[in-house]
Structure 1
Amino acid sequence: MSTDMRTGWFYVGNGQLRYRTAAGWTDDYKPADYYQPDEAYPPRSAPAPARRSFAGSATAGLAVLLVLVGAVAAGLLLVTHA
């Protein structure tokens, strides 16, 4: 059972809103085109963390490049010694 006890109109599918009280769902429905939310839900999350600097991205890119170069070099060694 959910502990979420928000009240108000909630979208329930098929273009319909249904009203819920703290006690539970009511038998009240209305078309969703009348829906005008008082606030955004789900609540807005915290702002996204700041992007890493270009230097951090460059370091990660360089590491990937070195791994790829090493893999190619190892493959060439295997082919030439086979």
Structure 2
Amino acid sequence: MSVFYFEIADAKPNIPCIGENLPSLAAARCFALKYAALLLCDQEDVFWEGEEWVMTVTDANRLTMFTIMICATAAPATLNLKKLI
């Protein structure tokens, strides 16, 4: 098992870095996608306002293993839906 750290830059509100013991880099990639999905669902109002998230995953030595960039843009037709709901 290796420790991998998952950090999201510039998220508002701030999301603390977490560390997870995982068996492989492949497991860390899978965990990163699932973790990102959970965070996006929990903070969808902020995310859909156009904020870009960058998740950096590092190993125990804080060497970057990979980065995930996540950005969404609502279509103009959906921008007024919040007012209707």
TM bin (shorter chain) = under 0.3
| Larger of the two Rg values belongs to structure | 1
TM-score (norm 2): 0.27
| Higher RCO, 1 vs 2 (CA within 8 Å, ≥6 residues apart) | 2
Provide TM-score, normalisation by structure 1.
0.28
